[in-house]
A and B are shown apart, each in its own frame.
Chain A
Amino acid sequence: MLFLLAVVLPGLFWQSGPETAPSLRQAGITHILVPASQVESWKNVSGIDARAFDLQGAQKLPSPGVSFRMERSSASRVPWITSNGWHFIRRPDGRFYYDVKERDAALAAAEAFCYQADAAVQTDESGLGPLAGMLKFLGSIDSHKGQPVADIGVIDDGSPAAGEVLNLLVRYNLLFKVVTSPGPDVKLTVKLGSKEYPIQEEKNPVALAQKIRANLTDDRRTLRIYGTSVVVARLTKDPGGLRLHLLNYGEARGARVGAFRVRVLGRYTKAQLHSFGSPGDQLTDYDLEPGATEFTVPELKAYAVVDLSDK
């Protein structure tokens, strides 16, 4: 059981010694990742399970969140979202770590969990409480071994320019997966760097992302979000149904997201919302349409999942 939890949940990377164990216990942290050289020193600390994690070879990720650049003129009123989803999709076997503080630690853990990434969250005492709270919530969610739902197959050349396009696809909630060749399981295949989707000479990745969206068409998108510009979603599917993951990137800046609307292709008669920090929240205005399901999420703090099924 402990092993399973360690695999699924992101872990706290903690470089301080066993003398800090009371702070961890007080926050509710029971599992930590430490440099290999410190594993031995934590062995006899009761109530805290320490495993080795090597930052060498792990990719450091920026702190997830939003930048409201009110003072700058831009082509969009939408705030800039720093999301790491594209890193996880591009390198599903990669190892990652965050170095974050305060509420960012909770969002980082949720983000890594959402993408089932092998990631460690390094923080200081300011982040222990938020992180512990999020880890407790993540641990309470039923296991879901679903595969990501993708409308778009992207043939990725691995370049930084292509990475920026992947980043924008994530931020626009355009569901994609990285493929090596066109396949029947996606609605649109995009070969970045091709004549149709040039990237090196493309000075505006936003325009390219919009072109991909236009070629897919909004009607064929499995997922749409209305009423917020700071929520990034992910869908996974298993035989039991769909799991919708919702990340509020405004959370780290204290930007509470009020009610927003979700549209998912497919008819799902049952839905269960699990919302971090709002355990009693229920979906509202649930509508079944021909071929689609719509509902309103009343509020979103850092993270929530919605499990959808038709059984």
Chain B
Amino acid sequence: MPGPYKGHVVRVHSEKSIDSSTARVDRVVVKRMLSAGMQSLTGKTRDEDCWSRFISPRDIVGIKVNCSGAPHIMSSPEIVAGIVENLIAIGVPAQQICIYERFENQLKTVGYDRYVAPGVKTWAAENGPRGAILGYDPNTYVEVDFFGEEDTRSFMSRKVADTFTKIINVPKMKEHQAAGVTGCLKNISYGDFSNVDRSHRFSKTNTYSFIGTLASVEPIPTKTVLNIMDGLSGVWQAGPFSQYPQFRFYPKQIMFGTDPVAMDHMLIDVIEAKRKAEGAPSIFDRSPAHIGPDNSNPNFNHYIREPGHVEYASHLGLGVYDANQIKLKVVEL
């Protein structure tokens, strides 16, 4: 990260991609969106050439999904299946592809294995009691004390640290109660480390600097070669979870890029536009008057959100935040 397409974002939109009344995804349309997005990003005309730009048959590929809003809002299995099909098409053996998350219970509610070729693996860093660290690399961690907590380490997922040679990041388009938005950066940082929710307490959250800090820890920036953000559906309030159906929405788009900062800037714009349309405060609002326990009311939130984490990450070299330098291509299908 930010990879070969620094500052570039491709947005592919299709009204036919998802039925907003049933949330049913059209797998054929999604395949076309994936093809159009990758071709637009790379400038190549054959899908195989697009994917080979990032992945080789010898790679062990981790696909980082986001399941914290499952079973309603998660990285769509249809998109993940499309990614897997393209990887297999360029010669990556199914056994070398692994769909992964932090928590097994969330991953299981989706059942990605039912959508992909036999042999593709699924894996969760925490597949037993929450907090267990066997799935993390004991030698790769960030140590920081936010609030005087006793457990000051966040360990990196073991497979990220020592197994995967490439990672494809597949975040979901969501507002986040603490971080403001949860897109590429948060999915690849909080989603790849243990013991991260300690960064929030009362209305205060340290996501502003912690997200970028975690995302900067090697080998994450080197291995994460592609970001494909699922915006078929999303959440504009009370994320990253999705217990309130009224806060789901349907942008009907997928974003592509190698620059997580530029993509997350676009995500901020999407969430802000939706919130404005709904009459909700901006995610940049820091008024104590809007802090409250009942976030089923979009005027309230548990935390002072920190969407500035995206710009902060740009200062760590993870990508381009300046809107004037971001080159957005929009493809309509």
The answer to whether A75 touches B151, judged by C-beta atoms less than 8 angstroms apart, is no
Contact indicator B150/A261 (Cβ below 8 Å): no
Tell yes or no: B322 within 8 A of A by CB: no
B residues near A77, Cβ cutoff 8 Å: 197-198, 201
How many B residues touch A, CB cutoff 8 Å? Answer: 25
A258 and B131 contact, Cβ closer than 8 Å, known pairs A172-B150, A173-B150, A226-B153: yes
A227-B195, A261-B153 as given contacts; A210 in contact with B148, CB under 8 Å: yes
For residue B131, which residues in chain A have a CB less than 8 angstroms away from its CB?
Answer: 227-229, 257-258, 260
Q: Is B245 an interface residue (CB 8 A)?
A: no
Measured between C-beta atoms, what is the minimum distance from A69 to chain B in Å?
Answer: 15
In contact, A259 and B133 (Cβ under 8 angstroms): yes
Asked if B194 and A227 make an inter-chain contact with CB atoms under 8 angstroms apart, the answer reads yes
Q: Contacts A77-B197, A287-B138, A287-B139 given: A259-B132 contact, CB under 8 Å?
A: yes
Residues in chain A near residue B198, CB distance under 8 A? 77
Interface contact B152-A226, CB-CB below 8 Å:
yes
- Check B132–A258 contact: CB distance below 8 A: yes
Q: Give the shortest distance, in Å, between B142 (CB) and chain A (any CB).
A: 12
Q: A231 → chain B, closest Cβ, in Å? A: 10
- Quick check: A229 and B150 within 8 Å, CB to CB? yes
What's the Cα separation between A100 and B200 when bound, in Å? 36
Q: Are A75 and B202 in contact (CB under 8 A)?
A: yes
- Judge whether A111 is part of the interface by a CB distance below 8 angstroms: no
Q: What residues of chain A lie closer than 8 Å to B197, measured between beta carbons?
A: 77
Assembled-state Cα–Cα distance A233/B287 (Å): 43
Sorting the interface of chain A by its residue count into under 10, 10 to 19, 20 to 34 or 35 or more gives: 20 to 34
The answer to whether A284 touches B150 (Cβ under 8 A) is no
Kindly identify, within residues 133 to 156 of chain B, every residue whose CB is under 8 Å from any CB belonging to chain A.
133-134, 138-139, 145, 147-153, 155
- B174-209 vs A, Cβ < 8 Å mask (1 yes, 0 no): 000000000000000000001101100110000000
Q: Does B57 touch A at the CB level, under 8 Å?
A: no
Determine the chain B residues whose CB is within 8 A of the CB of A218 once the complex forms. Answer: 145, 152
Interface bits A154-179 vs B (CB < 8 Å: 1, else 0):
00000000000000000011000000
Tell me, yes or no, whether B118 is within 8 Å of chain A by CB: no
Q: Within 8 Å of chain A (Cβ to Cβ): is B128?
A: yes
A294, CB-defined interface residue at 8 Å:
yes
The interface residues of chain B lying within 8 Å CB-to-CB of A226 are: 133, 151-153, 155, 195
Interface residue from A213, A227, A255, A284 paired with B151 (Cβ < 8 Å): A227
**B279 at the A interface (CB under 8 A):** no
- A16-41 residues at the B interface, CB under 8 angstroms: none
Which residue of A is nearest B198, CB measured?
A: A77
* Residue of A with least CB distance to B133: A227
B131: shortest Cβ distance to chain A, in Å? 6
**Given known A-B contacts A75-B202, A226-B153, A261-B138, A255 and B129 have beta carbons under 8 A apart:** yes
Q: A258-B131, A296-B133 are in contact. Are A285 and B138 (CB under 8 A)?
A: yes
In angstroms, how far is the closest chain A Cβ from the Cβ of B140? Answer: 11
Choose one: A210, A228, A259; the contact of B134 (CB below 8 Å).
Answer: A259
Q: Residues of A contacting B133 with CB < 8 Å?
A: 226-227, 258-261, 296
**Chain A residue contacts of B149, Cβ below 8 A:** 76, 78
Closest-by-CB residue of A relative to B293 is A73
Q: Which residues of A contact B194 (CB under 8 A)?
A: 227
Known: A226-B153, A228-B151. A75 touches B138 (CB 8 A): no
**Bound CA–CA A296/B129 (angstroms):** 15
- How distant is A229 from chain B, measured CB to nearest CB, in Å? 6
Q: Could you list which residues of chain A lie within 8 angstroms of chain B, going by C-beta atoms?
A: 75-78, 172-173, 206, 210, 213, 218, 225-229, 255-261, 284-285, 287, 294, 296, 298-299
5 more A-B residue pairs beyond the given contacts A226-B153, A287-B138, with a C-beta to C-beta distance below 8 A:
A76-B147, A226-B133, A258-B133, A259-B133, A260-B132
- Closest 4 pairs (CB-CB, A-B): A258-B132, A258-B129, A259-B134, A227-B133
A sample of 24 inter-chain contacts (CB < 8 A) reads A75-B147, A75-B201, A76-B201, A78-B150, A218-B152, A226-B133, A226-B153, A227-B153, A227-B155, A255-B129, A256-B128, A258-B128, A258-B132, A258-B134, A259-B133, A261-B133, A261-B138, A261-B153, A261-B155, A287-B138, A287-B139, A296-B133, A296-B138, A298-B134
